[in-house]
């Protein structure tokens, strides 16, 4: 799996700590699992000032919780080189969505009324920032992901695969 190759060791440590914290919170619930590691797919994807993601493929398993951390390792401002990660539903065309999103500046390039087109999306971030989302993996299949900042999807896109 290529999903954890991107980040420095420090970052991974931080994320482990976060996971542990989450586990503690969940322990309040009755019947909470002692360790939810196998049920959580943790993915780190990194964007840069060159309009690139470091992953072109993200693989998870059906039924898993998915935790995606998007890190922007560049220096450029969010208004110039903003990145997000948007996972599209099946049947939604990357170019069509990208074109609609490009003019949706007021809603951070997530077009209003596109709820059914989008499985999950992160915040829009600039250089030096990190953002995380969690969601339940959709049914098995192959989905497209992209950065919906204007013009970025041509380079910043890939496949989100649920096995
Ligand atoms: Cu971008």
Distance 42 CA to ligand 1 centre (A): 21
Which tens digits make up the pLDDT trace of 87-121? Answer: 999 999 999 999 999 999 999 999 999 999 999 99
> pLDDT (tens digit, 9 = 90+) per residue, 5-39?
444 444 444 444 444 444 444 444 444 444 446 79
Determine the Cα–Cα distance for residues 148 and 157; give it in Å rounded to an integer. Answer: 9
pTM of the model as a whole? 0.78
89: left (phi over 0), alpha (psi -120 to 50) or beta: beta
Among candidate residues 84, 37, 45, the one with its CA nearest the CA of residue 61: 37
Å from CA of 20 to ligand 1 middle:
30
């Amino acid at each position: 799996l290529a999903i954890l190759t991107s980040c420095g060791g420090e970052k991974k440590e931080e994320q482990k700590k976060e996971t542990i914290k989450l586990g503690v919170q969940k322990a309040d619930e009755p019947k909470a699992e002692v360790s939810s590691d196998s049920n959580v797919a943790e993915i780190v994807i990194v964007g840069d000032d060159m309009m690139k993601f470091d992953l072109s493929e993200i693989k998870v398993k059906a039924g898993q919780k998915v935790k995606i951390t998007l890190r922007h390792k560049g220096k450029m401002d969010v208004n110039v080189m903003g990145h997000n990660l948007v996972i599209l539903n099946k049947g939604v065309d990357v170019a069509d969505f990208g074109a609609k999103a490009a003019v949706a500046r007021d809603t951070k390039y997530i077009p209003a009324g596109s709820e059914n087109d989008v499985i999950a999306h992160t915040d829009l971030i600039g250089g030096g920032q990190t953002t995380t989302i969690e969601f339940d993996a959709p049914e098995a299949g192959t989905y497209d992901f992209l950065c919906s900042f204007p013009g970025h999807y041509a380079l910043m896109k890939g496949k989100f695969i649920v096995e």
